[in-house]
Structure 1
Amino acid sequence: MGMTMTQKILAAHAGVSHVEAGQLIEANLDLVLGNDITSPVAINVMKGIDRKTVFDRDKIALVMDHFVPNKDIKSAENTKQCRDFAKEHGITHYYDVGQMGIEHALLPEKGLVVAGEAVIGADSHTCTYGALGAFSTGVGSTDMAAAMATGKAWFKVPAAIRIHVTGKPGKWVSGKDVILHIIGEIGVDGALYQSMEFVGDGIRYLSMDDRFTICNMAIEAGGKNGIFPVDDETRAYMKEHSSKPFTEYTADPDAEYVKEITVDLSALKPTVAFPHLPENTKTIDEVGTVAIDQAVIGSCTNGRISDLRAAAEILKGHKVAENVRCIVIPATQAIYLEALKEGLIETFIQAGAIVSTPTCGPCLGGYMGILAHGEKCISTTNRNFVGRMGAVDSEIYLASPAVAAASAILGRIAGPDEVLD
């Protein structure tokens, strides 16, 4: 029996020629990631491990992004603990105010992950890096501590779902619409502990930003990871951002999949996930009238430059509705600077939106846009669970940047064509 793309990467990092779904392996890691919420827990655990320092100071990344700049004393103390740990152990890749960004946008931008690598992070959306042809997945802080000390992690080799991507998407159909459509079809547990492996000629119409978004939300279908094959688009991105060597893996022709589904990009429409699960999807023409109080454009899912360009294209020459708060959050400092150079920031401000420094902010109910009782928010983030962004009776609707921008203008959930027509 052949191996899937994910299984080949895991086999290589376990130092064996073959693995099968369900097999337990110990794999060597190329990168271990933590943030300002999860790293302090891992640091405390590591103090009890009989190791004097980290396994490799160049293979650990600590990104301060959830509550940075610090919003209160507790978040300041957490960040200080990370800062002190990074200094003590000479961590090469430590990112704080001024150099920071939302971790899953920052690491690819910095060239820290390339194809064929095995990466874990103490954050569930670490699966983002599958867009580069790497195996990446989220773990708990205890696993992060063990990985920082040893450079290794245990895995149960996942089975896989093969997703055939065909067709060419329409103007306003993005990676967010693709993954929301898939989650709506298979459910939030439809890929439970399975690798979501994307194939097909439609992939060439998906930008790297689209692919990052799709892999980012693999966890929202229960997936262990999401992964795309390496193509010219991937190689060009890695060449631009990284000097690291990379390895391309492809699935064997006789690899086994537990399920196969097809996504025709040409048939997709802008899609919205209603409260309180990402699987509760409707296409834009099925939404009806849903008034909103807030729109958030940003996050590790949709805070990249193409996302900001799409939102600005909709907002240019328009105004945010009188009773709507529109919050735009570039995912990294480099993205913020590029948006400034392109005039996107001016467009947002002229439209009546505000622009934040890079941070996770409201996505997890942190700050920069917490919802009050009964408020409704359309957001480009990845989760819309009960109380995720504030009050337990508030509501979050997940959508693309284009839909969020159009909704901010009209004061209700709406598609881009309603604004531009």
Structure 2
Amino acid sequence: MTGQTLTAKVLRAHGVGDVTPGAYGLLDVDLLMLNDVSGAVALKEFARMGAERVFDPARVACVADHFWPAKDIRSAHQVRLLREFADAQGIADYWETGATVDSGIEHALLAEQGRVLPGRVVVGGDSHTCTAGALGAFGTGVGSTDVAAVLALGQLWIRVPEAHRVTFAGTPGRFVTGKDLALALLRHGGVSGSTYASVEYAGEALTRTSVDDRMALCNMAVEAGAKTGMVAADDVTLDWLEPRLGHRPDAVAADPDAAYEREVTIDVSDMPPLIAAPWSPGNVRTVDEVGSGVRVHQVYVGNCANGTISDLRALATVMRGRTVAKGTRLVVVPATQRTYRQALAEGVVATLLDAGAMLSPPTCGACFGGHTGILDDGEVAVATTNRNFVGRMGHPGSRVYLANAWVAGAAAVTGELTDPAVLV
């Protein structure tokens, strides 16, 4: 009998009896996340279906992050709805920058708060909930109607995805991060190469990565069309979680003889940092392939998976003793308040401020074109975010290049697309 994939093990343990790809089942949810955008819609649906109480307040988390700090009256109202709902339902896991000691961008925040564990099921009203896969969880984003149903029942109707295995072979270079592994997969298969699949990542290169890198990798699984992306928990995962939990959690992994619907191996030994040029995360190239001379007006380092302390350290290494190029602006958004405090303690914030950067409180902000860094017509940005569609960060005439923090730092210093190896 063939062994089970990690995907099959997690789904079976959460109530799905038939884990054959394409089969349907009711999935028991360990954690449901609402934010101030999709959550506002979900709350209306929750009331419309006649529900009065959430299925379990201890398994619901509410995070104000997309339009917070509020940019206008409407966004202030949406956060108020979320705040009042959490209070009325007795939901203790409510985070709002300026009102709670710990806060931040939802996916990074839930992980650092120990709410995401190996083998668990995490559902959220945001497509990048797949970031939870970095810790060995099955994380997936759903629409507001599904969020409302899970709020009431604690279950999600799911079609079982195919399981794909992506192996990253070789030893990554100094300036190659989890962001580049995600872009490498997109370069290989494009934005539909993993449509509705659960992508299980493995390989020698992955064993050398941090949890921060794995968050960046799993975060962009959805850009390849995937239902989720997962890294089986190992000592790196458990070492990261143990101080946050006060104990060492159990790990879940695929069986050695598990069969996958698709297997891909990508050698990253000699791979340079990658970028995604406008207007698709799948338009992946090297900096040299794009060529120097691409004028950069804004550099944005932040996002639900690339505003980590690793990203801020890399950026500070490039910026130390240098300043932002004339005509270029550098916007830095730590993913969580805890990350912000750590960056302060390490002197990272001082280095970035001395270089001319603007630091923002944790927010999704400019990543989705909401606020705090909107682009004008004709402007070019290098961003550590996850999407670069037309108009994603502002004017439809703007252009966004997706990159890791090393490349972002090099662009901030030179004012154009630059290989970080030239500077560091």
Instruction: Mark yes or no: TM-score above 0.5.
Output: yes
Corresponding residue of 2:67: 67
Which secondary structure does the structure 2 equivalent of 1:235 belong to?
Answer: helix
Aligned residues: 419
Corresponding residue of 1:351: 355
Q: Of 384, 393, 405, which residue of structure 1 is paired with 2:409?
A: 405
Structure 1 residue 188 corresponds to structure 2 residue 183? no
Instruction: Give, in whole Å, the separation in 2 of the partners of 1:68 and 1:181.
Output: 32
1:28·1:151 contact (CA, 8 Å) conserved in 2?
Answer: yes
Corresponding residue of 1:139: 142
Q: Of 395, 400, 408, which residue of structure 2 is paired with 1:391?
A: 395
Instruction: Give, in whole Å, the separation in 2 of the partners of 1:242 and 1:383.
Output: 32
Instruction: Give, in whole Å, the separation in 2 of the partners of 1:164 and 1:69.
Output: 40
Cα deviation 1:141-183 (Å, max 9, x = unaligned): 1100110111100111110211112221111111111111111
Structure 1 residue 377 corresponds to structure 2 residue 381? yes
Amino acid at match of 1:50: G
Structure 1 residue 321 corresponds to structure 2 residue 333? no
Corresponding residue of 1:3: 4
Cα deviation 1:270-296 (Å, max 9, x = unaligned): 111000001101112212121111000
1:111·1:243 contact (CA, 8 Å) conserved in 2?
Answer: no
Identity score, percent: 46
CA deviation after TM superposition for structure 1 residue 258, in Å:
2.4
CA deviation after TM superposition for structure 1 residue 265, in Å:
2.6
Instruction: Give, in whole Å, the separation in 1 of the partners of 2:39 and 2:16.
Output: 28
Structure 1 residue 202 corresponds to structure 2 residue 205? yes
Cα deviation 1:227-285 (Å, max 9, x = unaligned): 01111001111112125784432223443322211122312211110000011011122
TM-score for both structures, normalised by structure 2 = 0.96
Which secondary structure does the structure 2 equivalent of 1:301 belong to?
Answer: coil
Corresponding residue of 2:164: 161
Instruction: Give, in whole Å, the separation in 2 of the partners of 1:221 and 1:120.
Output: 19
1:108·1:241 contact (CA, 8 Å) conserved in 2?
Answer: no
CA deviation after TM superposition for structure 1 residue 97, in Å:
2.1
Mark the CA change 1:14 to 1:245 in structure 2 (over 3 Å): closer, same or farther.
farther
Q: Of 165, 173, 176, which residue of structure 2 is paired with 1:173?
A: 176
Instruction: Give, in whole Å, the separation in 1 of the partners of 2:279 and 2:257.
Output: 39
Instruction: Give, in whole Å, the separation in 1 of the partners of 2:374 and 2:253.
Output: 43
Corresponding residue of 2:263: 260
Mark the CA change 1:15 to 1:176 in structure 2 (over 3 Å): closer, same or farther.
closer
Structure 1 residue 101 corresponds to structure 2 residue 100? no
1:5-44 equivalence runs, <5 A? 5-14=6-15, 16=17, 19-44=19-44
2:241·2:248 contact (CA, 8 Å) conserved in 1?
Answer: no
Corresponding residue of 1:117: 120
1:217·1:301 contact (CA, 8 Å) conserved in 2?
Answer: no
Cα deviation 1:97-146 (Å, max 9, x = unaligned): 23320001100000011001011000000000111111110000110011
Corresponding residue of 1:299: 303
Instruction: Give, in whole Å, the separation in 1 of the partners of 2:394 and 2:204.
Output: 41
1:178·1:268 contact (CA, 8 Å) conserved in 2?
Answer: no
Which secondary structure does the structure 2 equivalent of 1:366 belong to?
Answer: coil
Comparing 130-139 with 240-249, greater Cα deviation is found at 240-249
Instruction: Give, in whole Å, the separation in 1 of the partners of 2:334 and 2:137.
Output: 24
Q: Of 216, 225, 250, which residue of structure 1 is paired with 2:219?
A: 216
Instruction: Give, in whole Å, the separation in 2 of the partners of 1:273 and 1:91.
Output: 39
The runs of at least 4 consecutive aligned structure 1 residues that moved more than 4 Å come to 243-247
Instruction: Give, in whole Å, the separation in 2 of the partners of 1:150 and 1:265.
Output: 44
Amino acid at match of 1:57: P
Amino acid at match of 2:47: K
Cα deviation 1:23-51 (Å, max 9, x = unaligned): 10101110000111010100000002233
1:104·1:126 contact (CA, 8 Å) conserved in 2?
Answer: yes
Which secondary structure does the structure 2 equivalent of 1:187 belong to?
Answer: helix
Instruction: Give, in whole Å, the separation in 2 of the partners of 1:27 and 1:158.
Output: 13
Corresponding residue of 1:235: 238
TM-score for both structures, normalised by structure 1 = 0.97
Instruction: Give, in whole Å, the separation in 1 of the partners of 2:119 and 2:243.
Output: 17
CA deviation after TM superposition for structure 1 residue 411, in Å:
0.5
Structure 1 residue 340 corresponds to structure 2 residue 344? yes
2:299·2:330 contact (CA, 8 Å) conserved in 1?
Answer: yes
Amino acid at match of 2:71: K
2:97·2:361 contact (CA, 8 Å) conserved in 1?
Answer: no
Which secondary structure does the structure 1 equivalent of 2:109 belong to?
Answer: helix
2:97·2:362 contact (CA, 8 Å) conserved in 1?
Answer: no
Instruction: Give, in whole Å, the separation in 2 of the partners of 1:249 and 1:154.
Output: 23
Corresponding residue of 2:133: 130
Mark the CA change 1:48 to 1:244 in structure 2 (over 3 Å): closer, same or farther.
farther
Corresponding residue of 2:86: 86
Instruction: Give, in whole Å, the separation in 1 of the partners of 2:26 and 2:132.
Output: 20
Mark the CA change 1:88 to 1:245 in structure 2 (over 3 Å): closer, same or farther.
farther
Structure 1 residue 331 corresponds to structure 2 residue 327? no
Amino acid at match of 2:307: G
